Structures are given as C-alpha cells and as structure tokens.
Amino acid sequence: MGKIKMHKSPPRIDMTPMVDLFFLLLIFFILTATFRAQEAVQVDTPSSVSNKTTPEQHVITISVSKDNVVFFNVDNGIDTSEHLRGNILRAMAYQYQMKFTPAEVKKFEGLASFGLPMDKMKDFINAKDTEERDAMHTGIPMDSTDNQLLYWIRLSRSYYNDFDVALKGDRDADYKTIKKVIDILQDNKVNKFNLTTNLEDVDVTLENL
C-alpha cells in the first residue's frame, strides 16, 4: 500500500555482538598464546619433509649458530613450575665448585639459551640487559679436557630422565661441530634425538623415476 518509504539516513547495523565475539576470541588467543623464550642467537634451520612438531616441555635444545658457536637451553618443566633450570644450575655449580645465590638461580630460570663457559656464568646472570649478555656468548666448551656440554646434558638428565633433545643447527654450520655435539650426546646415551627443521613440501611419485 502506498509508496515505499525511502531511508533518509543510512541504516545502522548493530555491531555489538560482533565486537563481543572479537573480544572473546582475542582474550582466548592472548591467554593460550605461549611466548617463545627469546633465543640468544638467530638460527636459520635447514628444511626437511618431516612434519613432526617439537615437544612442548622437557626439551633440551642445543643450538649451533652459523659461526659454530654452541648454545644450550633447557626448559623449566611443565608450565615452568618444576624449576628444572635452577636445579641443573645448582648441580653444575657443585660440579665446578661455584656458588650461586638464590636470587641468581631465580634469575637464571628466567633466562633463555646461553653459550658460555661456567666461569662466565655469574657475569652472564648479573648482566644489565640482553645486549650485554649477547656479547658474552663464546660457545659452551666441549673439548676433551673441558667438556662442559657433556655435564650440562648429563646433569639435566639426572634431574629428569625423559628429556627430549632437539638439535637446532644453522644450515651453514659445519658438520664437524654438529658431529661433535652428536658424539657428546651419544656419550650420554642419547641415541634418539630431533633435528629442528623447517617444513618443506616434496612430492615424489614413481613417475619421477
């Protein structure tokens, strides 16, 4: 009946439910996001077809940078609540006759990977900021005379036996260094470990023959 009424003002869409949903999702993603600890070194990993994901906790990560500097990292256990790092540091301190204050141990638990000999560890923990720390990484000694990497792995495993070991080498790292790390792992009876890689898709069929 009659004329169609023309809208004088543009129709208003009520966006409140959409905004509500956005915030809900936002809060969900913020809460579930796990932040990766800042790595001391940028490692450009090689690629492979494997699509197995990294385990989330109880992982020992040994990184080898492109300058063949070896870094060690171990996580704190489930939800970072097991204080594994602290215990391992104390065990290492005992091994190398050093003393760390409880405050230093606590600070160490919050740090990420490190690549330096034990005698520099105190300076490393008490360093002002990351920049100062980054300058200290000279690699973990792993010569036959002073094999600290061996002890880091051994003592870590004495606190928690089922650590997964991830070896994260840079694509330009020398195999010689990696081989040395693998040898040390095998000396610790770690024969099964993971090589961190990027995913790359390769499709091979019999027609490729």
Chain contacts with other proteins (rule: CB under 8 A): 14-16, 18-19, 22-23, 25-26, 29-30, 32-34, 36, 45-54, 64, 166, 168-176, 178-179, 182, 186-187, 189, 191-199, 202, 204-206, 208-209
* Shortest Å distance, C-beta 1 to other proteins: 30
- Under DSSP, is residue 50 helix (H, G, I), strand (E, B) or coil? coil
* Shortest Å distance, C-beta 122 to other proteins: 31
* Shortest Å distance, C-beta 90 to other proteins: 29
Q: Kind and range of the H or E element at 90?
A: helix 84-95
Other residues' Cβ atoms within 10 Å of the Cβ of residue 179? 10
Which of 58, 54, 99, 53 has the alpha carbon at shortest distance from 81? 58
| Residue closer to other proteins, measured from CB, 109 or 164 | 164
Q: How many residues does the chain have?
A: 209
| Residue closer to other proteins, measured from CB, 34 or 42 | 34
Rounded Cα–Cα distance for residues 72 and 56 (Å): 16
| Residue closer to other proteins, measured from CB, 131 or 201 | 201
Other residues' Cβ atoms within 10 Å of the Cβ of residue 89? 24
Which of 149, 136, 74, 76 has the alpha carbon at shortest distance from 106? 76
Own/partner pairs, 107-114, CB within 8 angstroms, 24+ separation? 109/76, 109/80, 109/83, 109/85, 112/37, 112/38, 112/39, 112/40, 112/73, 113/37, 113/39, 113/40, 113/41, 113/61, 113/63, 113/71, 113/72, 113/73, 114/40, 114/71, 114/72, 114/73, 114/140
| Residue closer to other proteins, measured from CB, 9 or 97 | 9
| Residue closer to other proteins, measured from CB, 4 or 33 | 33
* Shortest Å distance, C-beta 72 to other proteins: 17
* Shortest Å distance, C-beta 96 to other proteins: 26
| Residue closer to other proteins, measured from CB, 125 or 167 | 167
* Shortest Å distance, C-beta 146 to other proteins: 21
